[in-house]
């Protein structure tokens, strides 16, 4: 059974490609021309969002290198320590809102310091998988789609991230006691 699943997973992408090409042929469409038009549009979008992306990544780097992130996380961590929230989770949660790759770097540092099966390691792993890069997603996708009125998007995203972080702490605690 496992070999069948492995074979199917290896064949899935080629099957999708041939399926798309076959469908384009049945519709009498020039699939190469459609592909190049889509690639041109994708490149235009990348060029349009590149300044935003560079700005976000630079801001995260400056916050991390300046020590501001550690100082802020330390203060928040002391407040949340009474609720059994690992202090190591705070900088990770802050950075994750801006950059998933930077948060992954912090997660690897946390694993080296605390271990992957520690309470902090489990909470951080769950937190990264159930939260979103809010500011990156909003700036990049809204800029690409030319959305100017975001209304309650930020408030809703922050609420969802808070709920995800709370559940990460609860689930990690249950995993440690269970």
- Residue 69: which of 99, 37, 31 has the closest Cα? 99
**Residue 49 maps to a domain:** yes
**Residue 19 maps to a domain:** no
Q: How far apart are CA 171 and CA 86, in angstroms?
A: 13
**Residue 98 maps to a domain:** yes
pLDDT in tens, 57-107: 788 778 878 988 778 877 887 777 777 788 888 888 888 988 888 888 889
- When divided into structural domains, the chain yields a total of 1
- Residue in the structure block whose two tokens are 């939260």: 131
pLDDT in tens, 3-49: 888 888 889 999 999 998 899 889 898 888 988 998 999 888 888 87
- Residue 97: which of 122, 133, 64 has the closest Cα? 133
**Residue 158 maps to a domain:** yes
pLDDT of residue 55: 81
pLDDT of residue 148: 82
pLDDT in tens, 141-158: 887 788 888 889 999 999
Enclosing domain of residue 109: 38-177
Distance of CA 81 to the CA centre of its chain: 25
CA angle 107, 112, 115 (to 5 degrees): 90
pTM: predicted TM-score of the whole model, two decimal places: 0.66
**Residue 150 maps to a domain:** yes
Higher pLDDT, 99 or 114: 114
């Amino acid at each position: 059974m496992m070999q069948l699943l492995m074979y199917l997973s290896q064949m899935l992408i080629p099957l999708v490609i041939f399926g798309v090409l076959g469908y384009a042929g049945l519709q009498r469409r020039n699939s190469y021309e459609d592909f190049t038009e889509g690639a041109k549009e994708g490149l235009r979008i990348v060029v349009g969002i590149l300044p935003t992306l560079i700005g976000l990544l630079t801001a995260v780097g400056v916050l991390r290198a300046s020590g501001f992130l550690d100082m802020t996380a330390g203060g928040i961590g002391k407040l949340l320590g009474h609720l059994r929230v690992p202090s190591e989770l705070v900088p990770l949660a802050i950075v994750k809102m801006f950059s998933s790759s930077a948060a992954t770097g912090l997660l690897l540092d946390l694993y080296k310091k605390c271990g992957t099966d520690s309470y902090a390691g489990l909470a951080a792993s769950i937190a990264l998988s159930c939260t979103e890069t809010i500011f990156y997603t909003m700036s990049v996708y809204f800029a690409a789609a030319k959305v100017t009125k975001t209304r309650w998007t930020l408030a809703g995203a922050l609420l969802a991230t808070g709920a995800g972080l709370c559940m990460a702490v609860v689930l990690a605690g249950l995993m440690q006691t269970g």
